[in-house]
Amino acid sequence: MTNPVDYARAQYRDSWLHHYAIGDPSWDTFVREPGNPIYTGKGPYEWPVNGFLFCDPPSGRWLAYVGLYPRGYWPAGPCLALRERSGGGWAEVGLAVQGNAAMFDGNGALAGGTPDVSVVYDGGQYHMIYDWASVDNARGGLAYACAERPEGPYQRFTQAVHADTGQTPILGQYVRAYAPTLFRRKNDWLILHAMSTAGNAGGMWAMACITSPDPQGPYTSPALLLYPQSERYLPALLEYYPAFLHNGYAYAPATSVARNRDFQCLFRAPLESAHLADAWELYQHGSLWHSENHPAEAQGIWGQTFSAQVDRKGVMRAYFTSKTRENIGTVHIAQRRWDQPFKDGFALSAPETDAYAILRQHCRTFRLRASIRASGSWSISWGCQAPLGPDRAASDAIAHPIMSPHKISWERNSDMWRLLTYDDNGETSLQSGYYGPPADGVEHLDITQDDFGAVVELNGQVVCVAAYPAQCGRMQLIARQGAYLFVEKFEVSSMPEPATEFWLASEAMAGAAADTAGREWQSVEDSVFRYGFGYASCITGARAKWNYCGGSFRLYSPRGPQYGNADVLVDGALIAQLNLHADEPMRSSAVLSYELSRGFHTVTLVAPYGPIPCDSLEVTVPLPESDRAAD
């Protein structure tokens, strides 16, 4: 075995999988400020879903603009302004902007919604861009307002900046512009905004931009910047708003709309070139946020991602929203040092569904010494070889059920533990017992797996010995639904072996924002697929895209009489044209191998004219540089 490596240290964070639906262990340093929540939803707007945090340049005072929604979002409401008191706490200071029955959002009798805003101070005025929607949500877009004070009230201009009724669908899908952030540049004004399908019905989300010489417009037509149909690496199911400015860069955080929303990415571009798609880079991939075990944060981060501002002292304050178990929205403030994004020890939160922390290396024999502070049920598994991916290519995605079987698992629930094995026939309990929680709240676990069996020690006491032969595979730490873990130590002594991951077809569907309801792809259950299921294309030009971090790959596919040729693109370049036709159905096998160095990559399948299948992708996982240096 090698010398022990403590994978709970921040330098090893890239040794773990960071995934929008499976789980995101986080080393972030965000700390909640006292006095949370600063606002709680109330009828008829029980969901303060989104918001914008603003530090007023003339006064240095902080304001929060709260987007007000009813349960279920529609019909959306106005925007409420909060101001931080000089002695602490926050106070309501009135509606910053609201709908008007006689304006473009109204229907003559009822006002529409104006919930999500951003504000820029320039030239002695406060300039606001907000999104709007009609009462029935059939129409919507962006609009401009201005005020003499940051609290407002803001005077709305009578013409909308953008209306989706005049928007030709981009890529045949993107219609609704919403959730805007306004920036002042040297020679013009830039709006970064989210974009989705008609009526913001979801299914796919993008970040786009428009520009104008004047804050009130006229603005250019939307141009997509970050969107899943591109050939760049982009984790699936990300939704954007709001962005922020720091040291000449526009930063755009984005949150996954999977069931657990803790997975975040942070993108950035130089402000003056932020209207160009190629200027944007992935600045931080995961490990950006964690949920905490608090009744007012019971459903994790909610709505869009956090709204951030970095003050003159280098402190990043963040506004974020959550919900209680009673489905009431809450608004909170957290902060961290901008130059200290990580700390040793990681959090794993599962507010809505199970969350996995997956160590991306394989070993057969090992010794693990872990120290874990837990609230709720959790488990550690090893020898795991199940494929990876989401259960659906849509919002509220969770880890696919095929991931559930593990080779062997030690589970902790309240004052009980169990040692289980899993196979195709289900679970088998090897041993179980009772052991009360430790007085200091920290569970010290020591697991040794050799060629012949496993020994588990809990807080210095041997609790089970199992004659279970070693199996090569990965380790997984799982927080069960409603659990919150903080891992102080995860020290592994092992001999790492070549590691690969198999990624399901559902990952490729989500990665391309593909329709899987029969318009673009149709789900198929058939034993010719590697895992008994996959997809078949329905239209010419259908696309599926795996986004992954790793090295070389092998593409798996069945062949059959109904299938034709498939184009394969790697990082946007066509590298192969595969003939997937066969006179008789043929079981899935490797149809393409391709050598790549470690990095963020995309593998895209395209149906150029006839139906093609989408099955699975095997990815090699080279050790990160920090791991190699430790060995």
pLDDT digits (tens, 9 = 90+) for 23-43: 999 999 999 999 999 999 999
What is the structure's pLDDT at 265?
97
What is the structure's pLDDT at 96?
97
Q: List, in order, residues 6 or more apart from 323 with CB less than 8 Å away.
A: 47, 298, 299, 302, 329, 330
What is the structure's pLDDT at 629?
36
Confidence band of 435 (pLDDT split at 50, 70, 90): confident
Section 126-145 average pLDDT: 97
pLDDT by residue (tens digit) across 455-506? 999 998 999 898 888 999 999 999 999 999 999 999 999 988 889 999 999 9
Sheet holding 500-503, edge to edge: 500-503, 616-620, 553-559, 586-594
What is the structure's pLDDT at 406?
73
pTM: 0.95
Section 232-250 average pLDDT: 96
What is the structure's pLDDT at 628?
38
Confidence band of 624 (pLDDT split at 50, 70, 90): low
Check whether domain 5-16+351-497 has CATH 3.40.605.10, yes or no: no
- CB contact at 8 A, 225 and 209: yes
* Distance in angstroms (rounded) separating the CA atoms of residues 127 and 118: 8
Section 350-374 average pLDDT: 96
> Any idea what the Cα angle at residue 129 is, between residues 127 and 133, rounded to 5°?
145
Mean pLDDT of the chain: 94
What is the structure's pLDDT at 625?
55
- CB contact at 8 A, 193 and 134: no
- Where helices occur in 288-413 by DSSP H, the ranges are none
Section 349-370 average pLDDT: 96
**Looking at the predicted structure, is the pLDDT value of residue 133 above 60?**
yes
* Distance in angstroms (rounded) separating the CA atoms of residues 447 and 493: 11
**Looking at the predicted structure, is the pLDDT value of residue 347 above 90?**
yes
* Distance in angstroms (rounded) separating the CA atoms of residues 398 and 308: 27
Q: Could you give the C-alpha distances from 183 to 215, 276, 317, 560, 570, in angstroms and in order?
A: 9, 15, 19, 53, 35
What is the structure's pLDDT at 566?
98
Check whether domain 501-620 has CATH 2.60.120.260, yes or no: yes
Within 10 A of 461 (CB to CB), how many other CB atoms are there? Answer: 10
* Distance in angstroms (rounded) separating the CA atoms of residues 343 and 28: 7
The sign of the dihedral angle between the CA atoms of 352, 331, 137, 225 is negative
Do domains 5-16+351-497 and 501-620 share one topology? The answer is yes
Indicate the burial class of 600 (C-beta count within 10 angstroms; 0-12, 13-18, 19 or more). Answer: middle
- CB contact at 8 A, 215 and 189: yes
Section 424-440 average pLDDT: 78
8-state DSSP, 13: G
What percentage of residues in the chain have a pLDDT greater than 70?
Answer: 98
Strand 238-240 and strand 223-226: pairing?
unpaired
**Looking at the predicted structure, is the pLDDT value of residue 401 above 70?**
yes
> Any idea what the Cα angle at residue 567 is, between residues 562 and 572, rounded to 5°?
150
**Looking at the predicted structure, is the pLDDT value of residue 327 above 60?**
yes
What is the structure's pLDDT at 630?
36
Check whether domain 30-226+257-339 has CATH 3.40.50.300, yes or no: no
What is the structure's pLDDT at 1?
62
pLDDT by residue (tens digit) across 159-217? 999 999 999 999 999 999 999 999 999 999 999 999 999 888 888 999 999 999 999 99
Strand positions, DSSP E, 98-237: 117-122, 125-133, 140-147, 155-156, 162-163, 176-184, 189-196, 205-212, 223-226
Confidence band of 555 (pLDDT split at 50, 70, 90): very high
pLDDT by residue (tens digit) across 563-621? 999 999 999 999 999 999 999 999 999 999 999 999 999 999 999 999 999 999 999 99
Rg, Å, the chain Cα set: 25
Domain boundaries, the chain: 5-16+351-497, 30-226+257-339, 501-620
